[in-house]
């Protein structure tokens, strides 16, 4: 259990430094370290990441790093998508299917984090006003992903706000935390009648993630963003492949090499 709480600090560090990544770390910790059933881990992750993101957003609010208009539009639609998906669709997916989708999302996130982008100097610090429907569409996609696999959406929200809505990076991170909090809680409401959470454990987990996000929010001033993104991108690849490896038996491919060998023989 101590190991889980120490790892919870890493969840907070990720949120504080990157404005995302909480659920991508929390779900594997709950499933493979704690031994929690996948669907319960998804619901628990939403509560943990939602509460931690809300705590982390306080410092960004004080620093003026929130884009209220864009965040309200994006977050409102994302909340709707998260609740509807979790309430009416997630129950039809097995825990294994959710973990596999989760791993695929991790690998896709790692691709975009490691992908080199050609950016004109100063271009990304200019806010571009996107049509409301486009912002809402981006929010809906993030909400659906949240409801299905318990990802708060930071690794989708930050790039969407920064690269597509052209919100300055600091604002994208701060606004992302608020959206993640609202999105996560909305997604959890959809799971309320499906699972029963261990609130004592979750409370302790949130405490350690809160410590991590406070440290991360302080460290972000000293850590080069590019190096951090590359390191985390590699970590996502490792974790994504690890989950697929752990779930291979349930996917029916655990003994595929052996079966192929027997066929050829």
Q: Alpha carbon of 74 to those of 17, 20, 28, 43, 114: distances in Å?
A: 22, 16, 27, 22, 25
Cβ pair 183, 84 in contact under 8 A: no
DSSP assignment of the chain, as one string?
-HHHHHHHHHHHHHHHHHS--HHHHHHHIIIIIS---HHHHHHHHHHHHHHHHHHHHHHHHHTT---HHHHHHHHHHHHHHHHHHHHHTGGGS-HHHHHHHHHHHHHHHHHHHHS-----TTGGGS-----HHHHHHHHHHHHHHHHHH----HHHHHHIIIIIS---HHHHHHHHHHHHHHHHHHHHHHHTTT----HHHHHHHHHHHHHHHHHHHHHTTTS-HHHHHHHHHHHHHHHHHHHHHHTTTTTT-TTHHHHHHHHH-
pLDDT of residue 65: 81
* Summary mean pLDDT of the chain: 80
The ranges of the chain with pLDDT < 70 are 19-21, 116-130, 150-153, 155, 163, 225, 229, 251-265
Residue-wise pLDDT for 223-265, tens only, equals: 776 777 677 778 788 888 988 988 887 766 554 455 444 544 4
Q: How far apart are the C-alpha atoms of 212 and 6, rounded to whole Å?
A: 9
Six-digit token string for 97: 């299917």
Q: How far apart are the C-alpha atoms of 95 and 99, rounded to whole Å?
A: 6
pLDDT of residue 204: 94
pLDDT of residue 202: 94
Please calculate the CA angle 208-39-149 and round it to the nearest 5 degrees: 80
Q: How far apart are the C-alpha atoms of 77 and 71, rounded to whole Å?
A: 10
Which residue has 């963003």 as its token pair? 225
pLDDT of residue 44: 92
pLDDT of residue 233: 79
């Amino acid at each position: 259990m101590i190991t889980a709480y120490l790892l919870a600090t890493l969840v907070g560090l990720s949120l504080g430094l990157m404005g995302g990544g909480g659920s991508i770390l929390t779900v594997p910790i709950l499933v493979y370290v704690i031994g929690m059933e996948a669907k319960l881990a998804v619901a628990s992750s939403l509560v943990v990441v939602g509460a931690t993101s809300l705590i982390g957003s306080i410092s960004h609010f004080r620093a003026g790093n929130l884009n209220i208009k864009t965040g309200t539009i994006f977050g409102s639609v994302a909340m709707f998508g998260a609740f509807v998906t979790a309430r009416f669709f997630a129950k039809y997916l097995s825990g294994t299917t959710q973990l596999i989708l989760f791993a695929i999302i991790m690998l896709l996130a790692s691709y975009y984090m490691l992908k080199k982008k050609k950016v004109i100097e100063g271009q990304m610090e200019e806010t571009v006003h996107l049509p409301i429907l486009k912002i809402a569409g981006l929010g809906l996609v993030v909400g659906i992903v949240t409801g299905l696999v318990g990802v708060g959406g930071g690794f989708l929200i930050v790039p969407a706000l920064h690269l597509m809505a052209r919100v300055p990076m600091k604002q994208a991170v701060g606004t992302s935390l608020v959206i993640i909090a609202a999105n996560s809680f909305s997604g959890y409401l959809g799971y309320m009648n499906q699972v029963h959470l261990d609130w004592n454990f979750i409370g302790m987990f949130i405490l350690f993630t809160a410590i991590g996000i406070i440290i991360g929010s302080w460290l972000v001033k000293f850590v080069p963003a590019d190096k951090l993104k590359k390191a985390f991108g590699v970590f996502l690849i490792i974790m994504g492949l690890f989950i697929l490896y752990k779930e291979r038996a349930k996917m029916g491919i655990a003994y595929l090499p052996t079966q192929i060998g027997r066929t050829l023989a």
